[in-house]
Amino acid sequence: MTQVLQSDLLAALQARTPCLWLNPELGTPLPPGAPSPALIEEAERRIRRYEPVLASLFPELHETAGRIESSLESAEALKVALGQGDDPGAWLIKRDDSLPVAGSIKARGGFHEVLATAERIASAHGVMTPEDVPSLLISDRARELFSTHSIAVGSTGNLGLSIGVMAAALGFDAVVHMSRDAKLWKKQRLANRGVRVIEHDGDYAVAVEAGRKAAEADPCCHFVDDERSPLLFFGYAAAARHLSVQLEQAGRVVGRDHPLFVYIPCGVGGAPGGITYGLKALFGDHVHCFFAEPVASPCMLVQLAALRDEALSVYDIGLDNRTEADGLAVGQASRFVSPLMKSQLSGIFTVTDDTLYRHLLIARSSLGISIEPSAAAAIGGPGWLGGSVEGKRYISMRVPPFRESTHVIWTTGGSLVPVEEYARFEEHARGLAAHFGVARD
Ligand SMILES: *Cc1c(COP(=O)(O)O)cnc(C)c1O
């Protein structure tokens, strides 16, 4: 077989040894046809425009008048709990685990795509124009129209929760294709909201493909394609501006003397890729974005590090894509997102399931937050950067001398996890701690 990756990297990935890979192409020009930042602004405007609609659809959004946003909080206690208290940088945590309605980062991309699709269908049928009052989107005429259309998605769970719940709330026939081993509580939650769940044998890609096929046969079905959707991507990218406002409010400057480091869990790449795209448009070279992937599913790493410009999956290098991080269990990275990340992403680190659980427990004990395993993937980010040979190499090569840095760790899901399920996470994590003696309480 011809060589697909550099041999030492290939060996580390195959041995499932956690590592930090630095992207040698960082800073090269974006590919021709890369989307314009104007599309990010369009997504931001669309999301803001429908806030009153969302507030009337979901009681949990009354308080924020329909705003779907998460807080940016201090993570200094986490820094201390991880034994990195002497790191002079400021640590913050971006709480997408608590995004309302969907309970995960998928609210950002998913709600945007459903709103854009509803707007498009309503306009095409003369129910409203994009300039009309937004409340026409929830008029009786719109609801009647949407009941003759379906919105479908293939998902391991969280994207289904986001798309399914929003589509059903607007009156669409909402269909979620899931792998059979997707979490039962996610399937039940969808069924309770009137979403049709269709189960498939196989992994995430099989569920997506099945959904895509089913939708192709039906002209009244819009398929949300997690592997290549620009509408999802721009919904995620819209997160960047609000983060910049939150950083300012927290007194954190971003600039030449004040670099910003951001760490985000990565599955197919849409969520972390969109956010990176948005942050790069705002902060350019002053922001450094790193993704976190499970050792069993480093699909973006494999794709970006591939020696040839062809699709490369984790299966191709003998990994099995089996991880407790169900939100990140993706074998093949998005071929829409990976070319964009080639010039923008600083690097990717991998994480074992044991570390996910250990970090889940530390997040609980130090910050009092309950996150799902996928959402804990980025917690090791600052440690990789400051404490590893590769991380130090990155700082010396890519970051001009600075006064003070800010680290933002993105926690991406968890608030909807049922308490019994979370108790099982904790129990498992404590079992590991007892065995290895590594987790603190
Ligand atoms: C989906 C998901 C991610 C990653 O998003 P992708 O777009 O798949 O890269 C991260 N964390 C959680 C909890 C998720 O559900």
Q: pLDDT by residue (tens digit) across 101-148? A: 999 999 999 999 999 999 999 999 999 987 889 999 999 999 999 999
Return all residues near 386 (Cβ < 8 A) that are at least 6 apart.
84, 87, 89, 392, 395
Mean pLDDT of 81-86: 96
Give 390-406 pLDDT, tens digit per residue: 999 999 999 999 999 99
Q: Is the CB of 272 under 6 A from ligand 1?
A: yes
Backbone φ, ψ for residue 175 (5° rounding): -130, 130
Token pair listed for 70: 């998460």
Report how far ligand 1's centroid is from the alpha carbon of 440 (Å). 27
pLDDT of residue 1: 59
Distances (CA, A) of 146 to 114, 150, 172: 11, 7, 5
Report how far ligand 1's centroid is from the alpha carbon of 72 (Å). 18
Q: Is the CB of 355 under 6 A from ligand 1?
A: no
Closest CA to 293 of 35, 42, 18: 18
Predicted confidence band of residue 182 (pLDDT cuts 50, 70, 90): confident
Pocket test for ligand 1, best of 104, 225, 264, 348 (most atoms within 8 A of CB): 104
Give 184-236 pLDDT, tens digit per residue: 999 999 999 999 999 999 888 888 898 899 889 899 999 999 999 999 999 99
Q: How far apart are CA 164 and CA 187, in angstroms?
A: 10
Report how far ligand 1's centroid is from the alpha carbon of 374 (Å). 7
Give 288-312 pLDDT, tens digit per residue: 999 999 999 999 999 999 999 899 9
pLDDT of residue 441: 37
Predicted confidence band of residue 179 (pLDDT cuts 50, 70, 90): confident
Predicted confidence band of residue 437 (pLDDT cuts 50, 70, 90): low
Per-position b or e across 396-413, b if 16+ CB within 10 A of its CB: eebbeeeeebbbbbbbbb
pLDDT of residue 204: 83
Pocket test for ligand 1, best of 108, 163, 335, 374 (most atoms within 8 A of CB): 374
pLDDT of residue 433: 79
Token pair listed for 121: 């269908």
Q: Is the CB of 334 under 6 A from ligand 1?
A: no
pLDDT of residue 214: 86
Q: What is the dihedral of CA 36, 38, 40, 44, to 10 degrees?
A: -170
Report how far ligand 1's centroid is from the alpha carbon of 266 (Å). 6
Mean pLDDT of 153-164: 92
| Model confidence, pTM | 0.97
The answer on pLDDT for 435 being more than 80 is: no
Return all residues near 186 (Cβ < 8 A) that are at least 6 apart.
157, 158, 160, 161, 178
Q: How far apart are CA 46 and CA 40, in angstroms?
A: 10
Closest CA to 196 of 172, 229, 232: 172
Q: How far apart are CA 92 and CA 74, in angstroms?
A: 5
Q: Is the CB of 294 under 6 A from ligand 1?
A: no
Q: Is the CB of 374 under 6 A from ligand 1?
A: yes
Q: How far apart are CA 69 and CA 59, in angstroms?
A: 15
Q: Is the CB of 156 under 6 A from ligand 1?
A: no
Report how far ligand 1's centroid is from the alpha carbon of 140 (Å). 34
Burial of 368 (0-12, 13-18, 19+ CB in 10 A): exposed
Closest CA to 236 of 414, 399, 102, 435: 102
Q: What is the dihedral of CA 181, 185, 189, 194, to 10 degrees?
A: 40
Report how far ligand 1's centroid is from the alpha carbon of 102 (Å). 12
Mean pLDDT of 310-334: 95
Contact 258, 21 (CB under 8 A): no
Q: Evaluate the CA torsion angle 325, 331, 334, 340 in order and state its sign.
A: positive
What does the mean pLDDT of the chain come to?
A: 95
pLDDT above 90 coverage of the chain, percent:
90
pLDDT of residue 208: 87
Contact 4, 311 (CB under 8 A): no
